[in-house]
Structure 1
Amino acid sequence: MLEIISGAAVKKLDTDFIAEKGITSHRLMENAAQAFCDWFEGEYHRNDKVGIFCGHGNNGGDGLAIGRLLWRKGYDVIIFLVGGDAKVSADCRLNRELLPDKLPAISMSSDDIAHMEFDLNVVVDAMLGIGVNRPLAGDFLNMVIKLNALPNVNRVAVDIPTGLPSDECLEGEAFKADVTVTFQYPKFSLMFPEHAAFVGILHVANIGIGNKFMRQFSQNRYYLQRKDVVSRHLNFSRFAHKGDFGRVLLVGGSYGSMGAIRMAAEASLRTGSGLATCLVPSCGVDILQASLPEIQVFSSSSEKYLSLPYVKEGLERFDAVGIGPGMGTTAEAEDFLLDFLMTFKGPKVIDADAINILARNKGIQQYLGREDVLTPHIKEFERLVGICENHKQRLEKALEFSKAHGCVLVLKGAHTCISFPDGTQYFNSTGNKHMATGGAGDVLTGMITSFLGQGYGVKNAVLCGVYQHGLAGEIASVDKKRGTIATDIIKAIPKSYVTLGVD
Structure 2
Amino acid sequence: MLEIISGTSVKKLDADFIHEKGISSHRLMEYAATAFCDFIEKNFHRNDKVGIFCGHGNNGGDGLAIARLLWRKGYDVMVFYIGDYGAASPDCLLNKELLPDKLPSVTVCDERIKLIDYDFHVLIDAILGIGVNRPLDGLYLDLIGKLNRIKDATRIAVDIPSGLPADGCLVGEAFKADITVSFQFPKYSLLFPEHAEHVGKLKVVNIGIDQPFFGQFSEGKYFLQYKDIKTRHKSFNRFAHKGDFGKVLLVGGSYGKMGAIKLSSEAAMRTGSGLVTCLSPKCGVEILQASLPELMVMASEDDHYLGGIDVNELDKYDAIGIGPGMGTQELTANLLELMLNNFLGPMVIDADGINILSKHKKLLKLLRENIILTPHLREFERLVGSCENHQVRLKKATEFAQNYNCILVLKGAHTAINLPNGKQYFNSSGNQYMATGGVGDVLTGMITSFLGQGYSSENAALCGVFQHGVAGEIASVKKLRGTIASDVIKAIPKSFVKLKIK
TM-score > 0.5 by shorter chain: yes
The alpha-carbon deviation at position 191 of structure 1 amounts to 1.0
Q: Give secondary structure in 1 for the equivalent of 2:362.
A: helix
Q: Give the Cα separation in 1 of the matches to 2:159 and 2:21.
A: 22
Q: 3-state SS of the aligned residue for 1:185?
A: coil
**Quick one: percent identity of the two aligned structures?**
64
For 1:103 and 1:84, the matched residues in 2 are separated by 21
Query: Which structure 2 residues correspond to residues 356-367 of structure 1 after superposition, within 5 A?
Result: 356-367=355-366
Deviation at 1:456, TM superposition (A): 1.0
Partner of 1:177: helix, strand, or coil? Answer: coil
Instruction: Kindly report which structure 2 residues correspond to 1:191-202, keeping only aligned pairs within 5 A, or say none.
Output: 191-202=191-202
Return the letter of the residue paired with 1:150: I
Is residue 303 of structure 2 the alignment partner of residue 272 of structure 1?
no
Give the letter for the 2:287 counterpart: I
**Structure 1 residue 188: Cα displacement:** 0.7
Tell me by how many angstroms 1:117 deviates: 3.6
Shift of 1:313: 2.9
Partner of 1:283: 283
Letter paired with 1:262: K
Amino acid at match of 2:346: P
How far apart in 1 are the matches of 2:291 and 2:231? 35
- Distance in 2 of aligned mates of 1:480 and 1:42: 24
* 1:251–1:322 contact (8 Å) kept in structure 2: yes
Distance 1:478 1:107 in 2: 43
2:174 & 2:489 partners in 1: Cα distance?
Answer: 37
How far is the alpha carbon of 1:86 from its aligned partner?
A: 4.2
Deviations 1:401-449 (A, max 9, x none): 1011110000000110011001100000111111100001000000000
SS in 2 for 1:68: helix
Instruction: State the partner residue of 1:181.
Output: 181
Find the aligned partners of 1:143 and 1:432 in 2 and give their Cα distance. Answer: 31
Q: Structure 2: 5+ residue runs without aligned partners?
A: none
Q: How does 1:82-481 map to 2 (within 5 A)?
A: 82-308=82-308, 310-481=309-480
2:87 and 2:432 map into 1 onto residues whose CA distance is 40
CA distance in 2, matches of 1:46, 1:422: 49
Q: Residues of 1 paired with 2:69 and 2:284: CA distance?
A: 63
Q: In structure 1, what is the Cα distance between the partners aligned to 2:361 and 2:225?
A: 35
What amino acid sits opposite 2:49 in the alignment? K
Does the 8 Å CA contact 1:245/1:274 hold for their aligned counterparts? Answer: yes
Q: Distance in 2 between matches of 1:430 and 1:16?
A: 31
CA RMSD, 1 decimal: 0.8
Instruction: Give yes or no for the alignment of 1:492 onto 2:499.
Output: no
Counterpart Cα distance in 2 of 1:50 and 1:484: 35
Distance 2:230 2:82 in 1: 44
Residues of 1 paired with 2:280 and 2:250: CA distance? 9
User: What are the Cα deviations for residues 306-335 of structure 1, in whole angstroms up to 9, with x where unaligned?
Assistant: 123x23332111100100000001111111
Cα deviation, residue 62, structure 1: 0.2
The C-alpha deviation readout for 1:214-266, integer Å capped at 9, x for no partner, is: 11100000111111101111110101111111111000000000000000000
- Cα separation, 2, equivalents of 1:473 and 1:314: 34
The SS at the match of 1:130 is helix
- Give the structure 2 partner of residue 15 of structure 1: 15
How many angstroms apart in 1 are the aligned matches of 2:379 and 2:392?
15
Q: CA deviation at 1:85?
A: 2.1
CA distances 1:305-364 after superposition (whole Å, capped 9, x unpaired): 0123x2333211110010000000111111111112111111000000000000111001
- Paired with 1:458 and 1:364, the residues of 2 have a C-alpha distance of 20
Matches of 2:366 and 2:246 in 1, distance apart?
Answer: 24
Q: Which whole-Å CA distance do the structure 1 matches of 2:35 and 2:266 have between them? A: 41
Contact 1:249 1:278 in 2 (8 A): yes
Would you identify which runs of 4 or more consecutive aligned residues in structure 1 move more than 3 Å? none
Q: Is the 8 A contact 1:280 1:306 kept in 2?
A: yes
Aligned mates of 1:176, 1:194 — CA distance in 2: 12
The 3-state SS of whatever aligns with 2:233 is: coil
For residues 102-141 of structure 1, what are the alpha-carbon distances to aligned partners after superposition, in whole Å with 9 as ceiling and x for unaligned?
Answer: 1111111111113434101111111110000000111111
One-letter code aligned to 1:154: T
| Distance of 1:195 and 1:230 partners within structure 2 | 30
- Note the C-alpha offset of 1:495: 0.8
Worse-superposed segment, 58-67 or 111-120: 111-120
Q: Secondary structure at the match of 2:455?
A: coil
Task: Tell me how far apart the structure 2 counterparts of residues 475 and 83 of structure 1 sit (CA, whole Å).
Answer: 44
Q: Distance in 2 between matches of 1:5 and 1:128?
A: 19
1:55 counterpart residue number: 55
- 1:152 is displaced (CA, Å) by 1.7
Number of residue pairs the alignment of both structures matches: 502
The aligned amino acid for 2:55 is G
Deviation at 1:143, TM superposition (A): 1.0
**1:27 equivalent in structure 2:** 27
Query: Aligned to 1:216, what secondary structure does the other structure show?
Result: helix
Work out whether residues 300 and 311 of structure 1, in 8 Å CA contact, stay in contact via their aligned partners in 2.
Answer: no
Aligned-partner Cα distance in 2 for 1:314–1:474: 38
1:70-97 deviation digits (Å, cap 9, x = unpaired): 1101111111111242421110010000
Give the secondary structure class of the aligned counterpart of 2:288.
helix
C-alpha distance in 1, partners of 2:172/2:246? 51
Partner amino acid for 1:502?
I
Give the structure 2 partner of residue 41 of structure 1.
41
Distance 2:386 2:467 in 1: 30
* Distance in 2 (alpha carbons) for counterparts of 1:115 and 1:257: 59
TM-score in terms of structure 2 length: 0.99
SS in 1 for 2:80: strand
Query: Residue 84 of structure 1 contacts residue 107 of structure 1 at CA under 8 Å; is this kept in 2?
Result: no
